[in-house]
Amino acid sequence: MMATTHALFGVVLATATMGVAPEFAPVALVAGVAGSVFPDLDLYAGHRRTLHYPVYYAVGAVGAVGLAVAVPIAETVGFAVFLAGAAAHSLMDVFGGGLELRPWEAQSDRAVYDHYRGEWVPPRRWIRYDGAPEDLLVAAVFGAPAFVVWTAPTQTFVAAVLAVSAGYALLRKPLAALVERLVPHVPPSVRVHLPERFREESSGEMSRNEAGGDASASAADVSESSVPAPRAESGD
């Protein structure tokens, strides 16, 4: 799912907190959004593995919520909402596409790494890929309550996030094509720092191009070898 969809789920968590303890709504809003996007900070270092913990975040969130109920102060509430957002993010990614540059092709069997079991969880593809129309719809559903419950500043934030979501959804596939064209021209010293799926796709594209070039060269060699050599003319 899009990072913006995750961020808007953080707003949902804050909205729920407002219904129970409105005095903590502001801290819950900040913590919810921060926690909901936090796992994606591993984008350039083992994406969906380094900071994605579908089991451990959930277990930690249960304990943190219990602590917040027992000791309801800004710090405990914020920590609980942060962990709940991070847990939801890690679990929601399972329902999306695989870890690849073109997830609509459904070639990857990796959605999120489960550190508890030590294996990759396969994608369910209920949301076919980040930026898919259904992803944008989910983002809109998450954002809608804010326009009823929250005041202008938060509504403006949600509207801006939805606008970014719509723009990304519109450009998702063209951006993948652009990356495929640009990455092979990036210096190797820089390319190693790009997300893994960018490097994998560009390597695959270069391999296909090289294979195509070799095949053309081989065909040309065969064609040339099939032309009979001119016979030497006799002097008689």
Residue-wise pLDDT tens digits, 12-49: 999 999 999 999 999 999 999 999 999 999 998 899 99
Residue-wise pLDDT tens digits, 41-52: 999 889 999 999
Is residue 17 within 8 Å of residue 28, measured between CB atoms?
yes
**Confidence at residue 195, expressed as pLDDT on a 0 to 100 scale:** 79
Is residue 31 within 8 Å of residue 110, measured between CB atoms?
no
Instruction: Indicate whether 188 pLDDT > 60.
Output: yes
Contacts of range 112-119, beta carbons closer than 8 Å, 24 or more positions apart: 112/48, 112/49, 112/52, 112/54, 113/48, 113/49, 113/52, 114/54, 114/55, 115/53, 115/55, 115/56, 116/55, 116/56, 117/55
Is residue 74 within 8 Å of residue 107, measured between CB atoms?
no
Instruction: Indicate whether 3 pLDDT > 60.
Output: yes
**Confidence at residue 209, expressed as pLDDT on a 0 to 100 scale:** 47
The torsion of the CA quartet 21, 26, 27, 32, rounded to 10 degrees, works out to 90
Domain positions in the chain are 3-175, 183-225
Give the pair of three-digit tokens for residue 167: 């723009």
**Confidence at residue 204, expressed as pLDDT on a 0 to 100 scale:** 53
Is residue 77 within 8 Å of residue 21, measured between CB atoms?
yes
Q: Tell me, what amino acid is at 167?
A: G
Residues 199, 209: Cα–Cα separation, whole Å: 15
Higher pLDDT, 212 or 54: 54
Distances from the Cα of 54 to the Cα of 87, 136, 159, angstroms: 6, 23, 29
Give the pair of three-digit tokens for residue 73: 């102060």
Instruction: Indicate whether 211 pLDDT > 80.
Output: no
**Residue 121, helix vs strand vs coil:** strand
CA angle (114, 40, 199) in 5-degree steps: 90
Is residue 38 within 8 Å of residue 89, measured between CB atoms?
yes
Determine how many CB atoms are found less than 10 A away from the CB of residue 156: 12
In whole numbers, what is the pLDDT of the chain averaged over residues?
A: 87
